[in-house]
Chains A and B, each alone.
Chain A
Amino acid sequence: MKNIEYFKPTTIDQALRVKQEMGREACYIAGGTDVLVLAREKKLDCRALISLRRIPELAGISLQDDVLHLGPATTLTDILENGEVARELPILHDAVQVMGSTQMRNMATVGGNVMTAASSGDTLGPLLCLDAVCRLVSPGGERRVPMDEMFVGPRTTAAEPDELLAGLEIPLPAAGGAISSGAFFKLTRRAAMDLALINVAVQLWVNPDRATIAKARLAAGVAAPTPVRLKQTEEELVGAPVAEATKEQVAIRAIGRECRLRDSDRCSAWYREEMLRVLIPRAAALALERMGIAV
């Protein structure tokens, strides 16, 4: 890339103004680990880059009234090292831990993962399971979009071209004394620097009896053109004995009804299905184990 203008706004308003003036000729860049790879492959057509790295309101993690506010420009390293995320959101901690390499985690951001919206994005299943909400801002104002409505197609989000992801809000699963935990698994050919062949995220809430499920969230990546929640299965698990979530039969039914697996260069649909059958129950079992419930 040559003759590129590079803007380094320090407020969201400045960033929006530059974007408004330049329109489609300007692209936002946060960590750059997706944008610059696209640019190198000449798949990015822009005359200007608007950096999101120096906007304090976009970065950082804070907890307010049982809601974790996650700045989209927070790096994966900062999420990985955050004690509240490790304690309250193990499902997200698990995912960040197995993303890229140390160098990638030092640059890549969670907001970048959301806005790239690849089906393989490892934070997306966890964010779906956590019922995260995206705050999208534009010169016209702000709107809140549930994560579940964000992924409208392959690498496509519900955000309009003039909208910027300004915040991620995650209600703490254990708020109000609820009993909840989650887990994430990713299948790769090598341990680091690999995209998921499939990934699985499960967050479970159990009733005070610790024997039945109060609420369930299941999501899978590279199981369809977008990250998907397995909603039918989530509903069927409500009220069921906790062990139900760990049954292979439940996973098999979920895959058949709610996934659209396909062959790709990297992996066959058959293998993806076989591994989902293993990893969905395994993630559910680990989530329960983290609540001190043995199955």
Chain B
Amino acid sequence: MKRMIEFELNGQQVTAEVDGGDLLLSVLRDQFDLYGVKESCGAGECGACTVIIDGRAVTSCLYPAMEAEGRSVTTIEGLAQPDGTLHPIQESFIEKGAVQCGFCTPGNVLSAKALLDKNPDPSEQEIRTAIAGNLCRCTGYHQIVEAISHAAGRKS
């Protein structure tokens, strides 16, 4: 049963026609062309589809699109400035070599953003806990942890 819903997407009010069975992941990709939201496991285990909703990281593959109604959704496309200036977390990921194949990167950056917005000075353990739901097959995580830690220092 399709219905129109309204929500905030990367700072802008948007509307979308969604079915009760639609997942936020597919609505973001198919209706808004936000291909930084990746589908991989489809069961909440890999974190590639992570987005931030009302300040909290969630996996959009397990999030009913209908639940986005009235909420604020941030995808990786919403982080850089309109002129293309990257977010400090994105800069740190590049600088520290935390991006290899890139498939997990949007999810890891968003998990990092949700963490740093709440806790600007996290311990290494807190960083590792925050990204425990984001699988990376390339980096071995060390560079990602380093990048997040570096971004925290840069912001504060």
Residue ranges of A at the interface with B (Cβ–Cβ < 8 Å): 1-6, 8, 29, 32-33, 36-37, 39-40, 48-49, 51, 53, 77, 100-104, 106-107, 191-193
Contacts and interface: CB of A to CB of B under 8 A. Distances in A.
B27 interface: no
B44 to A, nearest CB: 6
Contacts of A33: 44, 62
Contact of A192 (B50, B62, B63, B132): B132
Give chain A's interface secondary structure class.
mixed
A8 B19 CA distance: 13
11 contacts: A3-B21, A8-B66, A32-B67, A36-B61, A37-B62, A48-B20, A51-B66, A102-B129, A102-B132, A103-B59, A106-B57
Contact of B133 (A8, A29, A102): A102
B21 A101 contact: no
A247 B89 CA distance: 50
Interface in B58-81: 58-59, 61-64, 66-67, 69
A101 B66 contact: no
Given A29-B64, A36-B23, 12 more contacts: A1-B21, A3-B19, A6-B64, A32-B67, A102-B57, A102-B129, A103-B111, A103-B133, A106-B58, A107-B58, A192-B132, A193-B45
B67 A53 contact: yes
B87 interface: no
Interface in B80-118: 111, 114-115
Contacts of B64: 6, 29, 32, 36, 49, 51
Chain B interface, >50% SS class = mixed
Contacts of B21: 1-4, 6, 39, 49
A193 B97 CA distance: 25
Nearest to B70: A54
Contacts of B66: 6, 8, 51
Contact of A191 (B20, B43, B132, B134): B132
Contacts of A39: 21
The 4 closest A-B pairs by CB, nearest first: A101-B133, A1-B21, A6-B20, A192-B132
B20 A40 contact: no
Nearest to A1: B21
Nearest to B45: A193
B143 to A, nearest CB: 19
A37 B44 contact: yes
Nearest to A49: B20
B133 A6 contact: no
Given A33-B44, A37-B43, A104 B20 contact: no
